[in-house]
Amino acid sequence: MSFDSPSFAGARAYRERALKTLCFGVSSTPRGRQVPAPIVADRARGAHIWDSDGNRYIDYSAGYGPLILGHSPACVINAVKDELDRGLRTASVHAGEAQLAELVCDTMPCAEKCAFVSSGSEAVHLAMRVARASTGRTQILKFRGNYHGWFDSIHAAGSVGNDGPSTLGQDLNALKSLTFVDWGDIETVRRTLTGDFAAVILEPIAVNGGCFMPAPGFIEELRELTRALGVVLIFDEVITGYRLSLGGAQQVLGVTPDIAVIGKAMGGGLPIGGVVGSDAVMEPLSSGRLLHRGTFNGNPVSVGAAVGCITYLAQHADDIYPRIDAMSADLAQHIRQSAAAHGVTCAVNQTGSAVQIAMGIAEMPTLADAAKADFNATRQFTGHLLERGVQVIGRGLMYLTAAHEPGDIAETKVAFDGAFAAMARETNV
């Protein structure tokens, strides 16, 4: 197969058609950048996805994270069917909301109160508003390279060395309420953070940007500094919540924030987000003083899916998380060895069930190293994988799920070997 192979003819034809009426041919820009062509998902089951050309892929994009149980877990599908049978009841109060809040409070260490929205971006937006309402302050400290969704209030400093907005059309005034620091740089936080700040927000384990664990002491000291100054500590656990462990990164790291933002994996594939935190910090929301608006917030279908997903994860956590983590470590190790054997320079980071590959650099211990990767080569490499039946996110990020089995991993290793051989051939011509 090659990049202009007939295997992607249907995908190319679809793209041409879609571009005529649908902006960039997709509903979220990164999806349109898949090479050799954005595949058109026809159906999916477990760890596998089939496109409209009839190709079958082992899927590591996992819906950009949510599909912790794979594409068709019975606990989610049955919950959704059950909700549909009972009528959509959109924007009604329904018993599932409190049930979900109870489940989240049982599983997330910081959660005493919850509020639900429809996406991670909305949840981040609401969390910052809660922090401002509960402190009466405005400024927020954000770390470069951490991603917290696409809203103007936070969509900036997306990579090390760039403190600007992350896309065209953003309100630059909104960014004046943000102060940027390098992730992990506790010295600068110590010098910068004052009692004038409302919040510090961060990905405590930085999956975006390259899959990084924090250096020992970083998160602990952030906790101490924020507590001493009355600054709200917000963990963005939109990726890590229910993915790295049942209690998210805060459970893995043993540090409890004031607020956590959750989304993605909690819904098992349906759109949902949440702001969860201590009684004290959530008071403006709990009392109704802070308006929490949104027609689709807590809709029964998404809430039912989240109840089904979290209930299942809670019942099987002791099996699921160690198993996915071990598969991920094994696959990451194979990728490193295969790259070396083929003479291809490729860094591989792994945190739990997230694996990041980056071409053109041998190692990426920090976000600054990750910024030096050859992004075009990484994207090209993901095309070689796609041709060999393996789908990963175009920037080289892979999510393993509970649906991946040893046979999938073995097949994936063969695909990586072939893709590295192809990269080596291209580099040498």
Ligand X SMILES: Cc1ncc(COP(=O)(O)O)c(C=O)c1O
Q: Which of 237, 246, 217 is nearest to 277 (CA)?
A: 237
Q: Do 298 and 115 touch, CB atoms closer than 8 A?
A: no
How many C-beta neighbours within 10 Å does residue 44 have? Answer: 20
Report the residue from 53, 236, 258, 417 that binds ligand X according to the rule CB under 6 A.
Answer: 236
Three-state SS at 115 = strand
Written as six digits, the tokens of 418 are 């072939």
Residue 273 Cβ, how far from ligand X at the closest point, in Å? 6
- Closest to ligand X by CB, 213 or 414: 213
Residue 148 touches ligand X, criterion: CB under 6 A: yes
Q: Which residue is nearest to ligand X (CB)?
A: 120
Look at residue 373 and give its three-state secondary structure: coil
Question: Nearest approach, Cβ of 5 to ligand X (angstroms)?
Answer: 31
Residue linked to tokens 């209030």? 153
Instruction: Quote the least distance from Cβ 88 to ligand X, whole Å.
Output: 21
**Please, which residues have CB within 8 angstroms of residue 52's CB and are 6 or more apart in sequence?**
10, 11, 14, 39, 40, 41, 42
CB 241 within 8 A of CB 66: no
From residue 219, give the alpha-carbon distance in Å to each of 202, 250, 357: 10, 10, 25
- Closest approach of Cβ 41 to ligand X, in Å? 18
CB of 356 to ligand X, least distance (A): 13
Residue 323 amino acid letter: R
Of 105-113, 212-220, 236-244, 284-292, which segment contacts ligand X by CB under 6 A?
236-244
180 membership: H or E segment, kind and range: strand 178-182
Contact code string over 241-280 relative to ligand X, x by CB under 6 A: ----------------------x-----------------
The answer to whether 29 and 393 are in contact (CB under 8 A) is no
Which position among 131, 238, 253, 270 is part of the footprint of ligand X (CB under 6 A)?
238
Using the minimum distance from each CB to ligand X, give the nearer residue, 175 or 201: 201
Pairing of strands 56-59, 390-391: parallel
Q: Is the dihedral of CA 263, 264, 269, 270 positive or negative?
A: positive
Residues 64-83 that bind ligand X (CB under 6 A): 64
CB nearer to ligand X: pick between 64 and 375: 64
CA distances from 86 to 64, 282, 309 (A): 29, 32, 19
Q: In terms of CB distance, is 208 or 338 closer to ligand X? A: 208
| Region 208-227 residues binding ligand X, contact defined as CB under 6 A | 208
Taking the complex as a whole, the smallest distance from the CB of residue 64 to ligand X amounts, in Å, to 6
Both tokens assigned to 74? 């019975």
**Nearer to ligand X among residue 149 and residue 184 (C-beta):** 149
Closer by beta carbon to ligand X, 207 or else 344:
207
In order, the DSSP letters of 220-245 are HHHHHHHHHHTPEEEEEETTTBTTTB
- CB of 103 or CB of 265, closer to ligand X: 265
Nearest distance from residue 76's CB to ligand X, in Å? 17
In the complex, what is the shortest distance from the CB of residue 118 to ligand X, in angstroms, rounded to a whole number?
Answer: 8
Binding mask 112-141 for ligand X (x = CB under 6 A): -------xxx--x-----------------
Nearer to ligand X, 47 or 128 (CB): 128
Under the binding rule (CB under 6 A), the answer on residue 63 touching ligand X is no
Answer yes or no: are the C-beta atoms of 281 and 232 closer than 8 Å: yes
Could you tell me the smallest distance in angstroms from the CB atom of residue 239 to ligand X? 5
203 binds ligand X (CB under 6 A): yes
Collapsing DSSP to helix, strand or coil, 415 comes out as helix
Peptide bond into 165 cis (omega under 30): no
**Choice from 126, 156, 234, 239 touching ligand X (CB under 6 A):** 239
Shorter beta-carbon distance to ligand X: residue 247 or 418: 247
Which of these ranges, 97-105, 172-180, 231-239, 353-361, lies near ligand X under the rule CB under 6 A? Answer: 231-239
297 or 338: CB nearest ligand X: 297
Q: Please, which residue, 148 or 388, has the CB nearer to ligand X?
A: 148
Residues 6+ apart with CB under 8 A from 97: 116, 298, 303
How far is residue 410's CA from residue 429's CA, in Å, rounded to a whole number?
Answer: 30
- Tell me which residues touch ligand X (CB under 6 A): 64, 119-121, 124, 147-149, 203, 208, 236, 238-239, 263
